Structure 1
């Protein structure tokens, strides 16, 4: 083999060229020829291997090999053989140029290390994309784990590159690394924190891909679309994207709506304020009038029978209505709200249904509706709330009650007109 690399040298010497000139021209010609041969081989290997992979992927049922092709795995593999041949021919090509030979061998070895790293990186990416297709792994932070493996891969590659370029052993690099670990910890702080956070998030099942989370500190309110080593990407409902540091999920407070989405209903918790001076005891005439409300008819009859029996047994003086027990318009309206919700088709009857008073305020008595809708989809959920409260607000005046509302300019003008 060595005779082939000196063939041009011998010809040039016979033609009367000096040894130095002959050596340079010989190396130049051989380099051009070798480069052309290796480029042709690289092209052939690339075509053959990529084509073979594609044929193989068509015949197999698994999609793993499809992802291998997409991640350029065959192309990287095709480059290995030509560079191994180059590594073998360099000592023969540059036999008379020790310094050049040494540098070129190091460059080739470093490139081979990079090539091996790219091959393994393709396998990692392929595995990540393949697992994302599996139902069990769809909501797992695979991007974080893949990034950890890639970082470790580059770390190992850096060790070998350092050893190749400096000629020192790997143990020497590790000793140097130990001395600079504090600086590296500072540089890779976010990555290390993100890695630890990713593990904790996964083990504790705190967040999954597709979860709806709310994190006011970062302005996030939407679905988690990606969890990586350093960041969590949230697609907000206003179509913006919020990026949150992964370690913030374990260091800060956030709300995960997954429990609601997996439950039987979505909570409705809203109140309106009843003016205190509109609350009153109900007279017999009032009860007869309210008995015409079908949903309350049986309740009023049964309730009033119990009240009359109680008042009669204790012999209360009923000439003053405050004596004994009495029904109020607010109490009757509260019961109406309960019955209305229990009969509403969009309310989950297996979950809590309650109408309750909140603590009185200077504006009146807040009456809160606390229940759960069957439909948890946002648009439908808002429509259900609107339907319920539009009906109840419109019903308030029928019970001789009033809702509190801050006076508007028209209210003030009307009051002034009355007083003038």
Structure 2
């Protein structure tokens, strides 16, 4: 038990949809009346599971429900799950950013959190001043911070701008400095959300190396949320999988990634899920055709095939700067490709009320590594505001073909096939 540095017991978090707090004085009085009589909070007995794909039947939703786990000193615990599974909510509770509705968190030592880009930074202060501010928040003395100052600045790569206000930093610079501060000020527990995705490849490699040094060399604990399954496998010693706000698996990082992949496979086999926001669009239709203009009647395609996506929908309310995009994901839920109307300079500046939109999108040869892929589709205004979204609009099994002369299977750990000519 002396090695346990963090323990979560029956952690649950409930939110009321659309409102802050309980929303009404009558609800607050009801809760207070139950409390002084020694009764359970009546609102803990209601609420929907945190499933974005289902229609809400209650004003209350459980972002997390009965989460239990322990973390030992020196462990790197991965927390994985789909978007909306409750990962960030859990980290915010562990970091004391918000409190749980029920349950307790027991920790030993200082916790440093990196939940969002530039968390805890004051935009008007310089990078150097923010290093001292964050150190003071962690309970360090000025002398302790001074000893680490140059090491932090060098690791961040922001030497030239360290005396410039943080508000003038790019998002990448902010995350580099924020990670450098959090990692070097010697917290007992380092909590990291998916913010490293903002950094470039070189910095991500440095950051992962630093986290390994923190856990293995210094014996400190890291909680790591990521959609990068390769990083989870290489960095973490153990992992938990969240689904709809509940822990559905806990075990070794390899087994947890395999379990998460099996969940993704179930999603691949599911039906398309449509989200119509604001009722701007109706009568949405979608079809996929091969190079011979034949509608696909199978989800199996070959390496090197070309596809054509055909869309049609009616405009119910006028939309300025109609924008569209496709996202291709593999079984590890890694984003393999992002396609948008801007790629070929195609724009609809104004979609008029009552008009019908017909669009054809033709791909070049698909050169992903053979495997299973899922496609999500999005429609919005100016690539910012969502008006229509389809999860799993199309999924396919890509098979190896004679497009490559290689007789052995292409390596599964690769992402793309690069066609080459050898002379």
TM-score by length of 2: 0.24
Higher share in strand = 2
- Larger relative CO (CA 8 A, sep 6+): 1 or 2? 2
